Structure 1
Amino acid sequence: MKQLSNRILFLLFIISAAISFLFNSSQVSTIIHDNTKRESGAKTALEFINRMRSYPANDIPRSKFMEAYIKDKTQLRKTNVSIQESEPWKAMGPLNVPGRTISLAVNPQNSNTLYAGAATGGLWRTYNSTNGANWQRVTTGFPTLGVMAIAIDPNDSLNMLIGTGETYGRSQSIGGYVWRTSRGSYGIGILKTTDGGASWTKSLDWTFDQRRGIQDIALNPFNSQTVFAATSEGIYRSYDQGNNWDNVYSVEMAQDIVIHLADTNKILVSTGNLGSPDAGIYRSLDGGNSWTKLGGIPTYTGKTLMDIYRSNPNVVYADVADSLAAIGLYKTTNFGDTWTKINSIDVARYQGFFAHWVAVHPTDENKIVQAGVDIYKSSNGGVNLTTVYGPHVDHHNYAHDPNFNSVLYIACDGGVYRSANFGESYSNIGYGLQSSQFYNGFSSSYSDSNFALGGLQDNNTVVYRGTKNWDRVIGGDGSWSATNSLNDNTVYGSWQYGNIQRSKDKGYSFNNITNGLSGNTAFITPYVISQTNPSILYAGFRQIFKTENSGDSWSAVSNTLDGNEVLSMAVSAQTPDVVFVGTAPVAARSHIFATLDGGSNWSDVTNGLPDRYPMDITIDPNDQNTVYAVFGGYGSGHIYKSINSGNSWADITGTLPDVPTLSVAIDPFNSDYVYVGSDLGVFVSDDGGTSWNDFNEGLPEAVMAMDLNISHANRTLWVATHGNGAYRRPLLFVPEFYLTINMLDFSTSILKGEELSFKASIRNAGNNSQTENYSIEARLIDPDGNEVYSDTQTFCCLGPNESITITFADSYTPQTPGQLSFELIKFGNSQLPGNDTLYQTITVIEASSILQANVQKITKSYSQIVGGTTFNGDDVQKILSLPFKFGFDDY
């Protein structure tokens, strides 16, 4: 089909209508900034990740994660020959949507080199810090998920230390935040390299207790052999650059370190978070041998971050916060003897435990950057703050460039940004950081190998369209998704707490379909679509809801089951009547429920399953009586199999590592091939779960394989990770003969009077050659049901993995606006029986109905446009659900 040259007009029409709504809606202010009613989404996300790991205990086991990692690498070998010969995992992005970034460091000997630490995605490096070109993940040889601190030797930049583990609390509880809800990723202590990251060794070895975390590492500016570390267990010191460590002050949740630049015996350390005891700023005047808690700083329950004024190191700023709101910005001019409150502005808003900081210009103390949910600048020493628009929200860390005073780097939930003018403006340099955090509920097209979508932590629902730059379509925390198996123009996405949306144009625009949905639901709400009748969907709240009209309306088909929110769901590929759901153990222990009659009756089929979080369920696509369920936590079975619709279950965990297990998928062509995802990556069985093999080649050392999804169109397996984006790999089983068909140059919108033509790519994905002729028909049906175009082509004799492009004869030129139905039919024969049909919808647009807008730049700040409400380009993206990135400049 001819590419739609005027599609941009259609998109501009969307922009124009959306901006008109934006400028005239009195609800925008309430939607964005009703802060009194908001709580930190980070709290909810952290709570989910940690509860599914620790439950039923209060915290994760001390050493189980590292023990399982070692066992996997040394004992669980790739014994399957087909695994050894198969292609490795291939990174698929998104490169344009980085995930939560929590640490930064500039090479002091070469400012072109910048390091970034991801929350659950490891250590990254670019050799072009100006624009962030070519970010690469740095392999450490250890399961480094979260990197909270990075320190580089100013005298020899080959020497580096990194601190692992994203930890916000230790053993305390305050305001609903408890220890098990305040850890983002496992910590294994401090790692060290002496060759610029080519190889790493343990420095402060905490592999025996992965509950601990490193918040900051600071080197003595005069003697880089002396190093201090702020940790969850207190303040540590090393005199040999990390070969040996001593805990020089045991105080919970040491956060930030400032070393005096003229007298390095003077050190300040801030401590505390989430109500930990004795929180405050501590000072040593003897190089860390003794410590005194300073006065002048109010009592706080969150954390405090500091920065030193390099032109006068007696001047230090401290950004102080409670667990939710900020308390204020404080300043000392005598290295802590006294403190003065500079402002009381609540930059943290609802996450003082999580994301805020202050930075001062190295040579002009009037220039201050203060950050929290948003980012601000000051030209009078922090007394007044002005919002700076552009960067993503939730700011975790920053780094000065030691060689250029006005260059500042910031780390946030949207990656990395750079300012060349100390906070006046920012450029996004995070492109290429494949560190996004997918949740469960990833889906892909049954007929188009270049289409998939899934939800990200605080980074929207994103759509894959064949490149590593994914479209951001639905705002907030992206959640579950689904794709119509017969017509992938119809797809579903969602954002937190059950806000399900539907698209009829393959993900370019979405509308809410929540009519009839009500009640409590999990933060990330599951829903599933029937493969055989895609008008039927089920959604899991505390009740189960069902729609038979693609979401136009929903009705409850269950009571509240066990009083828990539903966490996982599966519907049979053979019938829409068979559904299994798993509940999260919140109000009561977890359960698995099943219906065999479309929701009229539900049965508790828990039957001996462990009381853990049921993270995923799948039903054998070839036998609806066979069901698999996988579980989080430690110390119990992680995958169970039933061959009688849940009446009994068998623990088939076998040699799989004892870590939280997150996802499961079955090859529809061979049910013996079962794939499982866990906190340590992906594993596969080729005998229905009797034995297991490592399937991680091409993935980082350790990834959270949050979801697995099979792309039917090209027989590949997607893994959606929580920290390293998405990867794809061919399925192990190769059918004897199997054809994949994809349309080429196919557009779902066209102007009236433009010519339609059709091409298809056909590939033999099997082991055997094609021995018979196959026919394939393309046809168009108009809105009245009349066939207006039809052509049939025949092809033969494709060898294994051989492809052919078919061009259908003639063309069709629509003369009337409306919707055309396109069908691509592959007729079966004895070698591959059965007809397969691909359905698509083509919208014919009247050119005169398109408003030809030309939005090039918005030069006014949004605070002026919408009367006091302040927000940035990412907020516009979230509100309008634009199918492309919306940005603006010249603030």
Structure 2
Amino acid sequence: MALRHRWLAVVTAFALVLAGVLAVMQLRASETRTAAAPIGECAPGFQPVHDALREVRAEMRTEEDFEELREDGEAGEESREAELVREAMRELPMLQGTDPDDWDSLCVVSKRPESLKELNALFDTRAISRLAPFGAYDDGAATAAARQSATLSRASVPGTAGKAKAYGKGPLIVDDENYPQVNGLGLEDNMGRIDDYAWDPKGRRLFAAVGSGGIWRSDNLAASWKDATGNLPTTVTGAVGWTKAKGGTLLALTGEPTFGSSAYTGLGAYWSGNLGKSWKRSKGVPAGALGFAIAVDPTSPKKVYAATQYGLFVSTNAGRSYKNAKLPTGPCAGVTNMSKKPQCALASVVTDVVVVEPGGVNTETEAGTVVASVGWRGGQRTNPDGSVQSPNNGIYRSGNGKPGSFEKLETTGFAAQDAIGRTELGHAVGPEQDHDFLYAIVQDANLLNNGGLLGIDAPEGFSSPLGSTVLNGIYVSDDFGQSWTVMATGTTLAADPTTGSALIGTGTATGYQPGVQGWYNLWVQPDPSRATASGVPTRMAFGLEELWSNDLPQLGQPLDGTTPVHFGVIGKYFGGDSCLLLNVGLPACPTDRDPTDDNSTTHPDQQDGIWILDPEADNGVQLVVGNDGGAYRYRFEEDSDEELDNANWGRGDQKGFQTLLPYWAAMANDGTVWAGLQDNGNLKIDGKTRKQYETYGGDGFFTAVDPYDSNISYEEYTNAAISVTTDGGSSWSSIDPGLTAARFANPFAMDPTNAQHLVTAGREVVETLIGPSTTSGFTDAADADESTSTWVKVFDLGTRTAPGDAAASSSATDPDNSMTAITTRGDATYVGFCGQCDTLNKLVDSGPVFQNGLATNVGGDKRPKAGTSNGWHVAKAKGLPNRYITSIAIDPDRSKTIYVTVGGYTRRWMPPGAAGDTNKAIGKGHLFRSTNGGKSFKDITGNLPDSPATAVTVRKNQLLVGTDVGAFASGPNGKLESKPRFARLKGMPPAPVSSIQLKPDNPNLAVLALFGRGVWTYKFSQKVKVPVVNTGGGGSNAPKLDEVVESFDFEDGAQGWTASGFPGRWAQGSPGHGKGTAEDAGGSAWAAAGPLGYTDLADATLTSPAVDMPKGKGLLQWWMRLDTEGGYDIATLEISQDGGDSWQLLGSYSGGNPDAPGWSKYTAPIAAGGGEVIVRFHFTADEICSNLGGPICSSTSGWDGIRVDDFVLGTAK
């Protein structure tokens, strides 16, 4: 009856939907915009439907079919709207059955299962930049790069010494009340994805392979974790194992198996005899093979099995060396050299392996018998050349594991041959269990292939089985794999409204089904502590998007397939107060199935789970699971009935981990860091406490933060769907420019000289000069004026064969050019782009298709001016290899000098099947310099490893470079050298580097995003001068004053300003500022100047009276004459909005002003909260070389100091 009432509740909820008109949503956001929902209408953890539609529209803009509709003009308006509705119901299946006219009254949960299309696009984002212009490189490329990196770790290059440190402290906090976008999801403490576990029963140690985060160890059952990556050459690990042989050996397989990709390829197998402090490479497992699983023979602990992409490998010496087991998979059996047989790359993908334990009850299978599953997710789909990808997915068995002894079982009761996809195994190991029992959970290759998965690297533009399950079923064998019985199918799980799943009908909405990500989330294990008298396991757990177990009524019944089993969810996708679809105004899901639930849950997307027989536990067993949010241990000690449910997983067991997956990280002057995270949305690290918070859901990519106001930050979701916050992440507003051909993860950049100036691009290059006041859409530069609030289109990148031609029409053979890297500084902007960017799944001998390019407004026919089309053109870029442009840095000293990094590897590592360098410009090198605005480039790679380079920044005359094998720095004058020498930044883990930035007000602190290891900083021992932040001079992109609130000319006294400090002091007197840049000899100004004001060790403050400012965008404007020892004697401008209790840095000034010896006008934007503000100048000098100068100073005559006049507080335009 209670269940029926809950179902009535959801019917009632839908009946309450009020009428609302869905605005005609054209894909060009410049033409029309969807009205934003008022803040507070959606419950925490939910977003308005129209916000979710931003992603749908962005994805549609990348699809050729819709591009044709768009070109039809008004005639296609109805078709475009109809296509949007159809695509929305595919991407957001919880909307099925609703009326689009009512969508303005509905909210959808902000965390939803990603479709196959989205997850592959997510992978492609990282893969294409590393693989272009081909679809792959030779397997030895990554290993060679890692070896080169290791040699540079020992190199001694002056100026590179420093201290590396993880910046964030503690787990990623998801339930903070200040961030309503995510705090209603039921998640609490998260970290990076865990792919595998292993247990050492004697030492009571738990080991974890953490996606791109390396190997970790817990000595207290997941309560805390320690890094055990040691000297592994990469943090990209897929499997971990433990054997007691040789005094205890820790085992690891490298290569990320989650997507089955070759972007983060494997470097082989490794072993450690000291718990991960140091590692040695094992012989026999080839480079390039991705690691899936490790199993140890309990009857012979030296015998180890490694399940990899290139087959099953067997070791008889505790992992020191391996031999290929040569599973009989067909013509590709035993093949590991894909250079000779590239068609075999997917034919022997071994996704799991298990070995029969000795002992048990009624066990007939001989201990040591081994079963392996070959389970490429695409099954028998064909390659482009017509060969079958994996003709013999299935179950393989051997009595002793010797190479050549395995046979493929002709199983009865198992999935059909053509349906077998990824397969995971779990076997009975408990002392009171029958060890004949083996369980398998199988993804359905046919269901996945019907969605259009073409190969290991799915290209752009394919369809996917959105909203439906791709789970074939769960099977049990009582003879260790020879015969099988189905226990449940994906269809039966999806059709059962009583499972408690958040992804099916009851209390939610039809649409997503359990197993929709079954090719990505998959594991199964029986509880070793539960069995019938005859030894049949009676409890099991398995993972899909959610965690599942056999339900309470069936506990105690045998899991042997003889009786029906009902499965229920024990770790829901959302917390207890969330559902997929909710009416505007409702505070929570009205159909919460479990009112006693505390509304917390595990992170979704389950990757692995391990049952641990624990004699110290009251119930004798522990369960630890791993998912895209880290580790979770079930609290049996807090569960009175000791039966699995959703309420006893705790906050998450992430203590000690540093394993987040940032794409980009940016730091404000106050130390606050913002970063985009794979799997875990938008990250904010508090500059004072270093606590880490998730502020925005979904996958986060690129970010930016106002250096002077860390509450103003920008984040990019997918396809350039940019949002901005002005309150530190509590609320967000869409400023999506609505670009054509945007990348799935689309870079954007903030001008380091003006935080109001941002640029991004798809095919269109767009800019804004009004920061958070920007609105969605874009306007052509020719049509823009001072009233324009959208982005401004300044250039069109054209198509692959017609770069820079705005009139060129794209087609399947001549696609739109698309931005890959972008940077701006002042009026100068550079854009790297490519046409036919997607090179995956294309035959090498089909001819070169990839083409990069560089566009800029520097060196054109007009002087560059931000926000206009002045000077824009496609640069010749002579000497730049035709590989993916990953980053660009403008030299702060000269805008025509730029540094560019490129992805891929050099021609030495051309992929299998390439008979020659068909791409004539693949070239050598990864770091290039141009001194003429991109007309020509020179290779300055020096001794950097031959690895995809991902980031470059300039630190005075030093170059900092990020690669897939670590971060590197040149010597102090590297940017001036033709062959600079680089050294690895000491203390950094060997994780792929996503970005390197400098703290805006401190060039001695680098901020790095390490993919798999979170945000790190590197403090250089050899200091360089603090940068001169002179925004004066009336630059074209400087913010403009609108209305004056208060002004001070200092002609009739102090006007409420006060001076303090010693030694040195501020004083009022002549000269003052005159007209323009001229001086007024008789005028009055405040100054810390002359022998009394500008002294050694000066520490002087000038403070304004309180001024009542209106809420909103404000501006400070003043005139200043600056003459100090640059980089050493510094004036800062600070603001307080709490009566002087705390101060925020707005700018630092040192050296000389732009119009010296005259005066220069300066501006500083502020975000006024409404109420009184106080500003102050704080001038400090070091112990030598002040006003008087001296023989050891750079000036024997000294410097004048700082003078300030005509200070204005007002509103900004």
TM-score normalised by the shorter chain: which range applies? 0.7 to 0.9
Whole-angstrom CA distance in 1 between matches of 2:719 and 2:171: 26
Answering whether residue 523 of structure 2 is matched by residue 354 of structure 1, we say no
Number of the residue aligned with 2:398? 284
Structure 2 counterpart of 1:120, from 212, 225, 233: 212
Whole-angstrom CA distance in 1 between matches of 2:1149 and 2:110: 56
Identity %: 22
Counterparts in 2 of 1:243 and 1:828: CA distance versus 1, 3 Å:
closer
Deviations 1:240-290 (A, max 9, x none): 322343222334011211222242242221112133231011122344423
Whole-angstrom CA distance in 1 between matches of 2:319 and 2:1150: 67
Whole-angstrom CA distance in 1 between matches of 2:692 and 2:1001: 19
Number of the residue aligned with 1:129? 221
Counterparts in 2 of 1:663 and 1:20: CA distance versus 1, 3 Å:
closer
Deviations 1:681-733 (A, max 9, x none): 12222321531221320112x22111001102233111111111111112466
Counterparts in 2 of 1:803 and 1:315: CA distance versus 1, 3 Å:
farther
- Retained in 2: the 8 A contact 1:396–1:411? yes
Structure 2 letter corresponding to 1:129:
L
Number of the residue aligned with 1:882? none
Structure 2 stretches lacking a partner, 5+ long: 1-37, 53-91, 96-107, 173-190, 330-347, 359-365, 380-389, 449-469, 495-512, 531-536, 560-564, 573-600, 637-642, 776-789, 800-815, 839-848, 859-863, 907-923, 1031-1057, 1063-1093, 1118-1123, 1173-1213
Structure 2 counterpart of 1:580, from 805, 811, 831: 831
Structure 1 letter corresponding to 2:142:
F
Structure 2 counterpart of 1:383, from 562, 566, 570: 566
- Retained in 2: the 8 A contact 1:665–1:675? yes
Give the 5 Å matches for 1:481-880.
481-485=703-707, 487-514=709-736, 516-550=737-771, 551-552=774-775, 553-562=790-799, 563-572=816-825, 574-575=826-827, 577-583=828-834, 585-586=837-838, 588-596=850-858, 597=864, 598=866, 600=869, 602-605=872-875, 606-635=877-906, 636-667=924-955, 670=956, 672-685=957-970, 686-687=972-973, 688=975, 689-690=977-978, 691-700=980-989, 702-715=990-1003, 716-731=1005-1020, 734-735=1023-1024, 770=1096, 774-777=1100-1103, 780-783=1106-1109, 812=1139, 840-843=1166-1169
Counterparts in 2 of 1:370 and 1:800: CA distance versus 1, 3 Å:
same
Cα offset, 1:359, TM superposition:
1.8
Cα offset, 1:602, TM superposition:
3.2
Whole-angstrom CA distance in 2 between matches of 1:592 and 1:810: 44
- Retained in 1: the 8 A contact 2:899–2:930? yes
TM-score (norm: length of structure 1): 0.78
| SS class of match (1:167) | coil
Counterparts in 2 of 1:93 and 1:500: CA distance versus 1, 3 Å:
same
- Retained in 2: the 8 A contact 1:737–1:769? no
Counterparts in 2 of 1:808 and 1:736: CA distance versus 1, 3 Å:
closer
| SS class of match (1:129) | coil
Cα offset, 1:487, TM superposition:
4.0
Whole-angstrom CA distance in 2 between matches of 1:811 and 1:327: 61
Whole-angstrom CA distance in 2 between matches of 1:633 and 1:561: 24
| SS class of match (2:148) | helix
- Retained in 2: the 8 A contact 1:617–1:630? yes
Bigger Cα Rg: 2
- Retained in 2: the 8 A contact 1:234–1:247? yes
Counterparts in 2 of 1:17 and 1:822: CA distance versus 1, 3 Å:
farther
Number of the residue aligned with 2:17? none
Structure 1 counterpart of 2:543, from 371, 376, 380: 371
Number of the residue aligned with 2:234? 144
Number of the residue aligned with 2:200? 107
Whole-angstrom CA distance in 1 between matches of 2:965 and 2:1059: 42
Deviations 1:14-60 (A, max 9, x none): 99765379599899944459989933543223223232222223323
Whole-angstrom CA distance in 1 between matches of 2:706 and 2:905: 36
Structure 1 letter corresponding to 2:853:
H
Give the 5 Å matches for 1:77-96.
78-83=155-160, 86-93=161-168, 95-96=170-171
Whole-angstrom CA distance in 2 between matches of 1:831 and 1:105: 62
Counterparts in 2 of 1:555 and 1:17: CA distance versus 1, 3 Å:
same
Structure 1 stretches lacking a partner, 5+ long: 1-13, 170-180, 742-757, 763-767, 791-796, 815-819, 847-891
Whole-angstrom CA distance in 1 between matches of 2:303 and 2:443: 30
- Retained in 2: the 8 A contact 1:164–1:188? yes
Structure 1 letter corresponding to 2:302:
Q
| SS class of match (1:188) | coil
Give the 5 Å matches for 1:405-416.
405-416=620-631
Structure 2 counterpart of 1:191, from 270, 274, 283: 270
Whole-angstrom CA distance in 2 between matches of 1:822 and 1:801: 21
Whole-angstrom CA distance in 1 between matches of 2:282 and 2:654: 29
Number of the residue aligned with 1:316? 438
Structure 2 counterpart of 1:435, from 641, 650, 659: 659
Number of the residue aligned with 1:752? none
Number of the residue aligned with 2:290? 213
Whole-angstrom CA distance in 1 between matches of 2:47 and 2:141: 54
Cα offset, 1:168, TM superposition:
5.8
Number of the residue aligned with 2:667? 444
Whole-angstrom CA distance in 2 between matches of 1:835 and 1:733: 33
| SS class of match (1:50) | helix
Counterparts in 2 of 1:508 and 1:35: CA distance versus 1, 3 Å:
closer
Structure 1 letter corresponding to 2:410:
L
Deviations 1:173-197 (A, max 9, x none): xxxxxxxx72463322221223333
Aligned length: 777
- Retained in 2: the 8 A contact 1:760–1:806? no
- Retained in 2: the 8 A contact 1:318–1:331? yes
Cα offset, 1:81, TM superposition:
3.2
Number of the residue aligned with 2:805? none
- Retained in 2: the 8 A contact 1:517–1:554? no
Cα offset, 1:462, TM superposition:
0.4
Counterparts in 2 of 1:418 and 1:737: CA distance versus 1, 3 Å:
closer
Cα offset, 1:494, TM superposition:
2.0
Deviations 1:505-529 (A, max 9, x none): 2334322112x52433111111122
Whole-angstrom CA distance in 2 between matches of 1:571 and 1:789: 24
Whole-angstrom CA distance in 2 between matches of 1:116 and 1:247: 25
- Retained in 1: the 8 A contact 2:195–2:626? yes
Cα offset, 1:616, TM superposition:
0.6
Counterparts in 2 of 1:363 and 1:593: CA distance versus 1, 3 Å:
same
| SS class of match (2:121) | helix
- Retained in 2: the 8 A contact 1:619–1:626? yes
Counterparts in 2 of 1:242 and 1:457: CA distance versus 1, 3 Å:
same
| SS class of match (1:698) | coil
Counterparts in 2 of 1:402 and 1:202: CA distance versus 1, 3 Å:
farther
Whole-angstrom CA distance in 1 between matches of 2:824 and 2:1115: 37
Number of the residue aligned with 1:68? 145
Whole-angstrom CA distance in 2 between matches of 1:760 and 1:477: 49
Number of the residue aligned with 2:1178? none
Structure 1 letter corresponding to 2:993:
A
| SS class of match (1:734) | coil
**More deviation in 822-831 or 426-435?**
822-831
Structure 1 letter corresponding to 2:950:
L
Number of the residue aligned with 1:297? 414
- Retained in 1: the 8 A contact 2:110–2:698? no
Whole-angstrom CA distance in 2 between matches of 1:314 and 1:623: 72
Give the 5 Å matches for 1:143-162.
143-154=233-244, 158-162=248-252
Deviations 1:43-92 (A, max 9, x none): 22322323222222332322222223323333675433333xx4321111
TM-score (norm: length of structure 2): 0.59
- Retained in 1: the 8 A contact 2:1135–2:1145? no
Whole-angstrom CA distance in 2 between matches of 1:478 and 1:712: 22
Structure 1 letter corresponding to 2:548:
Y
Number of the residue aligned with 2:19? none
Cα offset, 1:108, TM superposition:
1.1
Answering whether residue 504 of structure 2 is matched by residue 335 of structure 1, we say no
